[in-house]
A and B are shown apart, each in its own frame.
Chain A
Amino acid sequence: MALSCLTRALRSLTLSQPALLSSQAAARSNLGAQVPSSAVIQWRGFLTTASLEQNRIRWKQREKYTIRPIGMKKTGGRDHTGRIRTHGIGGGHKQRYRWVDFHRLRYEANKEGQPFEEKVVEVRYDPCRSADIALVAGGERKRWIIATENMQAGDIIKTSGVIGRMAVSANEGDAYPLGALPVGTLVNNLEVRPGKGSEYIRAAGTSGVLLRKVNGTAIVQLPSKQQVQVLETCIVTVGRVSNIDHNKRIIGKAGRNRWLGIRPSSGLWQRKGGWAGRKIKPLPPMKVYVNLPSVSTS
């Protein structure tokens, strides 16, 4: 079938003018008929190979948000070339991905700009991360968020984007901009660029500390003691992330690690170099995510 289609298409590719007998060619030239060079049949090319794309990342290309768990394809540490990029990953229990909404301050349609409240419906284990996730419902939508330490079903959590003159006494689980919180609060799910979504302090039991607020920016200490300066309109959640005893768990046996998808490391003895051993060094300089106006020397 493919052959016949191919031949049919290629047949249309052949001469734009059919082969004429010499008498007909003479007649045509006598008549002075202009051979239209553009009297060609428009056609478009076709692909002679099979479909080129792979099925690797199609599971995560869904555009519409859903709370339904999505079936996941494990990579085994392999990248697009097929070779191992990260060792020690592979196997493990099958997992379904629950799409967590990291933009805590996401307004519903037609309700922009107003602080809103949501009710926690359920707090459950997530196989894809160390923290627990919470299903929250507000207005007409439901979404998954990272649960904080003492979050339970039935709690009401508030999200607001308003920075008032006075600092808000925030409850655990609420989300406010950094400028609205008092100095010294424990925070998690930190955004470093306003509106980008939280990328820091999301692991189980972690929390950052709001150190100080300096005209329009705020300085937060991350769990690694690294300090970070961000705009005060970045949204954070108050409290510690859930599942605080995560670092105290004992794996117990090699099999449990394999269930988690962690493959054994290479058994080859390798001489430890300068990277190993305890290092005592000063903290790296504070990372600034704000474009401060530079002092120009005129």
Chain B
Amino acid sequence: MFPETAQRLKTAAPLFSHTAFLTDLRRLSAHGGARRHLTVGRCLTAKVPPPRNPRERVEIPGLEMVTYGERMHYVPGLAKPATQHWERDYKDPRYYKSPPAHEMLLYKDKPCYMFNQRTSALEGVRQAAWLTKTQVIPGLPAQLLSPAGNPENQIPDQDERVQNAIKHARFWDTTEDRPRKEKYSNTLLLNLLHLCATLQSSHPAVGRRMLAENYSLATTWKRGEDLLQIRGQNGLLLNSMDPLPEVSGKQEVADTADHVLDTFYPVSPTIDLQKVHVYKEEVNHTGFRDDYPYPHAHTLYFLESADPRCKLRPEQFRTKMIMFTFGNALARAHKLYGTRPQRLLDRPVTVQSVGTNGRIFQFMVFQLNTTDLSGDDGIKNQMWLDEDVELYDFAKVRPLIKKKQVKIPAGLAGYKPETFSKFLALYLHGAV
């Protein structure tokens, strides 16, 4: 019998024991010349049906059921003998059934709301702002963008090299007609990062940075009565040895106390967050060990197509960016200042993030001013968000022709140099 038929038979017939089955197989296959090809008259590749709930036994006190157990065969009219529950005295991982949630060791009555990589928040940026007690400021801060005009902070032949990078990602990086979105967005991001890193010769601080991928972040905080956690594997993180300088001064930070957070009654701010009762309390982990030489998170890079199963709309993608940037900042703050809520941090923690889908970029700078997030009043964190910045209009492999006129030519069209200068400005922040 072939091994694959054996495998399917095993799934299709869970009643028969596995070990006996294997011995039979071996006996059959090792029989020398005469192999028996057993056939069964039913489909071997069926879906395993879900386990049926056994009929409920009704116990009537004082009434003893007469079973056919002693007679060793089914007798119509007699009851089915009750089987004792049998537990293996050793632990076999193949037959391990996990206990229900309320019997687990880490079960708690109070639920915890978790935000992970696949969460699609209904209310978008407003919900993230409420959960992280943040004031959203549209547009990037001026002091971040001002060094971009300086020719020292620009790459020689910047426009041409960026356009080559886009063309490489969108046209040249495949043997097929056109590369798929997951591929070209990833290639484009890495090309742009490489271009930025070529400035290491003129900006030595760029060399004190390191890229890291797929590290697990965990942070906990309280918001009102609810416990919130961020967990997940991040995308790409640029770490650095030195922390980022703070973006807004002490006066602006104190002014945020007057800002009122947006609420969205009747929707609760914890909607769409995963509600769990089994969780570890007070987990705060940046994802790296304590002796890692690049402890400070500098910039996070998010790709829309990183998880193929989870497609997020632009608003939800920005929410994810905000929450994970906040998570990194909060984990760092907890490590520096402890987990007790601090009303005002001496040195606010700044983290940046960039999100892209291959053409449209979202830039964000987050400044964590306070870890006292339980109340709605007091000093708030700040966030500068630049949404939907296009790098180029079209990158078509075949031209769009309508009524015999070329509407959009093939190749790269509508390149906007300001977007890359913003990207570079975010990269060079702290290294200029």
**CB <8 Å contact, A138 and B266:** yes
Q: Does B195 contact A (CB under 8 A)?
A: no
Chain B residues whose C-beta falls within 8 Å of the C-beta of A45 in the assembled complex: 74
* Chain B, 20-48, CB within 8 A of any chain A CB: 20-21, 24-25, 28, 38, 40, 42, 46-47
**CB <8 Å contact, A16 and B83:** no
Q: A1-B24, A38-B70, A40-B72 are in contact. Are A139 and B9 (CB under 8 A)?
A: no
Q: Does A42 contact B (CB under 8 A)?
A: yes
**CB <8 Å contact, A42 and B69:** yes
Q: Does B15 contact A (CB under 8 A)?
A: yes
**CB <8 Å contact, B267 and A5:** no
**CB <8 Å contact, B16 and A1:** yes
**CB <8 Å contact, A51 and B266:** no
Chain B residues whose C-beta falls within 8 Å of the C-beta of A121 in the assembled complex: 122
Q: Does A244 contact B (CB under 8 A)?
A: no
**CB <8 Å contact, A46 and B70:** no
Q: Does A265 contact B (CB under 8 A)?
A: no
Q: Does B411 contact A (CB under 8 A)?
A: no
Q: A2-B40, A44-B83, A121-B122 are in contact. Are A16 and B25 (CB under 8 A)?
A: no
Q: Does A263 contact B (CB under 8 A)?
A: no
B-side interface size class: 35 or more
Chain B nearest CB, measured from A272 CB (Å):
48
* Chain B, 132-164, CB within 8 A of any chain A CB: none
Chain B residues whose C-beta falls within 8 Å of the C-beta of A138 in the assembled complex: 266-267
Q: Which of B16, B42, B264 contacts A50 (CB 8 A)?
A: B42
Q: Does B381 contact A (CB under 8 A)?
A: no
Q: A1-B21, A16-B72, A40-B72 are in contact. Are A139 and B13 (CB under 8 A)?
A: no
**CB <8 Å contact, B268 and A5:** no
Chain B residues whose C-beta falls within 8 Å of the C-beta of A53 in the assembled complex: 49, 52
A37 to B13, CA, bound (A): 34
Q: Which of A40, A44, A55 contacts B47 (CB 8 A)?
A: A55
**CB <8 Å contact, A40 and B13:** no
**CB <8 Å contact, A139 and B271:** yes
Contact with A along B356-396 (1 / 0, CB 8 A): 00000000000000000000000000000000000000000
A13 to B270, CA, bound (A): 60
Chain B residues whose C-beta falls within 8 Å of the C-beta of A43 in the assembled complex: 72
Q: Does B275 contact A (CB under 8 A)?
A: yes
Contact with B along A11-32 (1 / 0, CB 8 A): 0010010000000000000000
**CB <8 Å contact, A47 and B15:** yes
How many A-B contacts are there with CB distance less than 8 Å? 72
Q: Which of B9, B16, B81 contacts A44 (CB 8 A)?
A: B81
**CB <8 Å contact, B266 and A4:** no
Chain A residues whose C-beta falls within 8 Å of the C-beta of B266 in the assembled complex: 116-119, 137-139, 156
**CB <8 Å contact, A137 and B271:** yes
Chain A nearest CB, measured from B162 CB (Å):
39
Chain B nearest CB, measured from A140 CB (Å):
5
Q: Does B79 contact A (CB under 8 A)?
A: no
Q: Does A33 contact B (CB under 8 A)?
A: no
Chain B nearest CB, measured from A169 CB (Å):
20
Q: Does B1 contact A (CB under 8 A)?
A: yes
Chain B residues whose C-beta falls within 8 Å of the C-beta of A119 in the assembled complex: 264, 266-267
Q: Does B265 contact A (CB under 8 A)?
A: yes
Chain A nearest CB, measured from B40 CB (Å):
6
* Chain A, 35-92, CB within 8 A of any chain B CB: 37-38, 40, 42-47, 50-51, 53, 55, 58
Q: Does A283 contact B (CB under 8 A)?
A: no
**CB <8 Å contact, A8 and B72:** no
A59 to B38, CA, bound (A): 34
Chain B residue at minimum C-beta to C-beta distance from A13: B72
Chain B residues whose C-beta falls within 8 Å of the C-beta of A156 in the assembled complex: 266
A141 to B275, CA, bound (A): 11
**CB <8 Å contact, B270 and A140:** yes
Chain B residues whose C-beta falls within 8 Å of the C-beta of A47 in the assembled complex: 15
**Which of A40, A138, A140 gathers most chain B CB within 10 Å?**
A140
A121 to B13, CA, bound (A): 46
Q: Does A142 contact B (CB under 8 A)?
A: yes
Q: Does A280 contact B (CB under 8 A)?
A: no
Q: A45-B74, A51-B46, A121-B122 are in contact. Are A140 and B275 (CB under 8 A)?
A: yes
**CB <8 Å contact, A117 and B20:** no
Q: Which of B24, B74, B265 contacts A117 (CB 8 A)?
A: B265
Chain B nearest CB, measured from A44 CB (Å):
6
Chain A residues whose C-beta falls within 8 Å of the C-beta of B122 in the assembled complex: 121, 137, 142
Other 6 A-B pairs with CB < 8 A, given A43-B72, A44-B80, A46-B15 = A1-B9, A1-B16, A13-B73, A55-B47, A121-B122, A138-B267
Rank and list the top 6 A-B pairs by shortest CB-CB distance, nearest first. Answer: A117-B266, A4-B24, A5-B16, A50-B42, A140-B268, A138-B266
Q: List 22 A-B contacts (CB under 8 A).
A: A1-B1, A1-B16, A1-B21, A1-B25, A3-B38, A4-B20, A4-B24, A16-B72, A40-B72, A44-B80, A45-B74, A50-B12, A51-B49, A117-B265, A117-B266, A119-B266, A119-B267, A137-B122, A139-B271, A140-B268, A140-B271, A142-B122
